Structure 1
Amino acid sequence: MQEKRVCSEGLTPGCSAHARGSHVDRDFRQLTWDDELEDDCRELIRLAVREDLERGHDWTTVAMAAAASRGGATFGARESGVVAGIHAARLVVEEMNLDATWTTWVDDGEVVEAGKPLAQLEGSARDLLTAERLMLNLLGRLCGIATLTRQYVTAVAGTHARVYDTRKTTPGWRRLEKHAVHCGGGRNHRTGLFDAVLIKDNHLQLRRNESPTATLADAVRHARQFLGQHGVGDLIVEIEVDTLDQLRDALQGAPDIVLLDNMTNDQLREAVQIRAAHGADVELEASGGVNLATIRGIAETGVDRISVGALTHSSRSLDIGLDWSLS
């Protein structure tokens, strides 16, 4: 496989969109394109290839296309959107060992209009036909997430709030989908259960079974002490509350973030005032009932973060098409 990169816009590898976001001193890891993400992507591609080919052949293509036939396939956006998945598509060429040259004209994070060509494969017609659906699936899914994310980010422009994803992702696709959120200008919440503490109501109930008088502040302090004892004291500690009284309690424990679950905008505004009166260096995250119609009002309450599960669980694929030239 040969690769050519002909975009002349001076973009660095990975997403370009993240450079436009605000700086956050203490935050979750942001999933730019790196070796770890590439390894996850390769593993997913191998699974997808097994789904299509198992140990056999693409019998339709083998029957219909001569071994010597050559061709080209240009991937293009049929609607406007934000690009994500260009690097993932390149890995399909490598993992399938395609007899083809991969040329790209855009990078992840770029905004494109309908009709914009994204990339081209030139080489064995058999290889191109066998790989086309997998590459379209990757590009369509990831571009769709990036595009929806950009819509949410645009909706809160000019406010203090930042848009975050969640763990509501497709199994096996998490890092790729979170990378697509990053490409759309959103921010990544925790990657998994291993890289942050998020104390939710079920955790609190279990804690109270062991210590009936424990407060939310006690739960935060206990988590910090436990993390310190196990050498991971630098992990972010977040706690979920669904009432303002719970917020007052939680602030006494000095968490990094308080998640305000399913609160009205009036409650969110009051939560911001409570935090200010407390003088706490704690960020407030709104969650629940967030969509494109409601997010602006939520952002205007003064919260710092808004987590949106819809970015990954409700996005549709962007329409990516192929223009063929076969010989």
Structure 2
Amino acid sequence: MTTRDFRQIQWDSQLEEDCRRIVRQAVSEDLDRGHDLTTAALIARDTSGEAAFVARQTGIACGLQAAKIACEEMDLNVAWQAYLADGDTLAPGVSLASYSGTARDMLTGERVALNLLCKLSGIASLTREYVDRIAGTKAAIYDTRKTTPGWRHLEKYAVRCGGARNHRTGLYDAVLIKDNHLAIAGHSGPLSEAVTRAREFVQQQLGSGTSSTIIEIEVDTLDQFREVLPVRPDIVLLDNMAPEQLTQAVRLRDAEAPDVQLEASGGINLNTIRAVAETGVDRISVGALTHAAPWLDIGLDWKT
């Protein structure tokens, strides 16, 4: 069976620059006129402080590198020392990092750092819940493009920290033929023709190196699945199929095209994902990892 996969996001220079861009935007939102009015009014310039970012609930840490970058990008007179790494397990009362320096700067930068930590840790934590639910099966969990505009790379990084895998990053790095493409294109022939057409386009337009470009097509019935199987797309997305249908699709694939990967998607949640994984599908994509993850409760505890 094919081992080709989508690009997997990791912490690198591109992700770091994405983080700096987000921090700059956050700073402009908080300091539109250049001042933290409350802090400037009440806190003397020479006041120092010491604090720690502390987990209030169980989860998975993510955003520690991002929070450190926030301190750097805001040019704060503070020292940041991480105690954990992205992907580590959290429990209530566990300190993620120490935070010390000029009290004014600490207060000004507190919310930006917390927003990064809470949002990204929330995604990583929910992702880990999904991963744990399918332990012992062959399936892998994937995210989707249902991400916050401007945050896609960071959110997909958080998914990786939670133990799942990244689906395509954008519209540019894979072909995913969906029903809307076929409807708008006026395609009325066999679905296999759409796969062949897409494959030929990639080869003609993108030239060398296109053998790594994944071709995926969405189907929502077993009849459609039977249509596309002979042309062997890299992945077939089985949309909103019941576990019984997914099991049948797996049997057909195993018998006729064992190199084709099967991805289940559509309405899958924590209560249903185990049954989906036990059908034998290879991949399960879950948009909720990024669009429905609650923030993890993390606070800044000051030492007095």
TM-score (norm 2): 0.96
1:202 counterpart SS class: helix
Deviation per residue, 1:128-177 (Å, 9 max, x gap) = 00011111111001101100100100000000110111111111111111
In the alignment, what sits opposite 1:274? 252
Counterpart of 1:95 (choices 61, 65, 73) is 73
Counterpart of 1:216 (choices 166, 174, 191) is 191
Q: Does 1:47 align with 2:25?
A: yes
Report the residue type matching 1:324 in the other structure: W
Report the residue type matching 2:206 in the other structure: G
Conservation of the 8 A alpha-carbon contact between 1:216 and 1:253 = no
Counterpart of 1:138 (choices 111, 116, 137) is 116
Give, in angstroms, the shift of residue 228 of structure 1: 1.1
Q: Does 1:159 align with 2:134?
A: no
2:284 counterpart SS class: strand
Q: Which runs of 5+ in 2 are unaligned?
A: none
Report the residue type matching 1:221 in the other structure: T
Q: Does 1:226 align with 2:201?
A: yes
Report the residue type matching 1:236 in the other structure: I
Q: Does 1:205 align with 2:183?
A: yes
Deviation per residue, 1:46-73 (Å, 9 max, x gap) = 0010000013200110111111111112
4+ aligned runs moved over 3 Å, structure 1: none
Give, in angstroms, the shift of residue 216 of structure 1: 1.2
Give, in angstroms, the shift of residue 117 of structure 1: 0.3
1:301 counterpart SS class: coil
Conservation of the 8 A alpha-carbon contact between 2:229 and 2:257 = no
Conservation of the 8 A alpha-carbon contact between 1:254 and 1:280 = no
Alpha-carbon separation, structure 2, partners of 1:253 and 1:85: 42
Q: Which moved more, 1:274-283 or 1:130-139?
A: 274-283
Conservation of the 8 A alpha-carbon contact between 2:43 and 2:103 = yes
Q: Map 1:1-327 to 2 at 5 A.
A: 25-207=3-185, 209=186, 212=188, 214-231=189-206, 233=210, 234-325=212-303
Conservation of the 8 A alpha-carbon contact between 1:220 and 1:239 = yes
Q: Percent identity?
A: 58
Q: Which runs of 5+ in 1 are unaligned?
A: 1-23
Change over 3 Å in CA distance of 1:216–1:280 after alignment to 2:
farther
Conservation of the 8 A alpha-carbon contact between 2:232 and 2:257 = no
Alpha-carbon separation, structure 2, partners of 1:272 and 1:150: 26
Report the residue type matching 2:44 in the other structure: A
Conservation of the 8 A alpha-carbon contact between 1:31 and 1:179 = yes
Q: Which moved more, 1:147-156 or 1:54-63?
A: 54-63
Alpha-carbon separation, structure 2, partners of 1:220 and 1:48: 43
Matched positions, count: 300
Deviation per residue, 1:237-279 (Å, 9 max, x gap) = 1100000011111112211100000000000000001111213
Deviation per residue, 1:76-122 (Å, 9 max, x gap) = 11111101100110110111001111101000011121111000111
Report the residue type matching 2:43 in the other structure: A
1:247 counterpart SS class: helix
